[in-house]
């Protein structure tokens, strides 16, 4: 298994993450919020923090997913996305480990497939933590 990306300071509800979503003049953050809510709900041990200015979900201090808002889309990123099952072909990227899904206003999202990716990423990080 690959080494985990560890972050310190994750809490169940981080006020800095809430402030990120509440920032004025950032409409695409509203599009990112429901997906981050799904990350939060992935398990009772999910914590969060801002990492490099982006809301990041962790378990036991190990990052497993993040959201980010750009000018035309939102990324829902997975730190070990290259290892996730993706039968719907939603994941993008060619890095060694990370992958992301782009979500755009007005474009349909395969919600069941994206929710399955979130669940798989949570199960994956739990398994990696148990394997340490």
What pLDDT score does 17 carry?
97
Which pTM was predicted?
A: 0.94
Question: Tens digit of pLDDT for each residue in 63-104?
Answer: 999 999 998 999 999 999 999 999 999 999 998 999 999 999
Domains of the chain: 15-130 (3.90.1150.200)
Return the number of other C-beta atoms located less than 10 Å from residue 41's C-beta.
Answer: 12
* CA separation, residue 38 to residues 47, 94, 95, 97 (Å): 12, 25, 24, 22
pLDDT band of residue 2 (cuts 50, 70, 90) is: low
């Amino acid at each position: 298994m690959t080494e985990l990306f560890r972050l310190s300071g994750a809490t169940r509800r981080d006020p800095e993450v809430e402030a990120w979503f509440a920032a004025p003049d950032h409409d695409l953050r509203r599009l990112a919020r429901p997906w981050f809510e799904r990350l939060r709900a992935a398990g009772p041990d999910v914590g969060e923090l801002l990492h490099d200015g982006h809301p990041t979900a962790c378990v036991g201090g190990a990052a497993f997913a993040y959201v980010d808002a750009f000018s035309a889309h939102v990324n829902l990123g997975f730190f070990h996305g290259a290892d996730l099952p993706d039968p719907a072909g939603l994941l993008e990227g060619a890095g060694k480990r990370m992958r992301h899904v782009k979500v755009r206003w007005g474009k349909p999202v395969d919600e069941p497939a994206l929710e399955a990716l979130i669940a798989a990423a949570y199960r994956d990080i739990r398994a990696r933590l148990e394997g340490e």
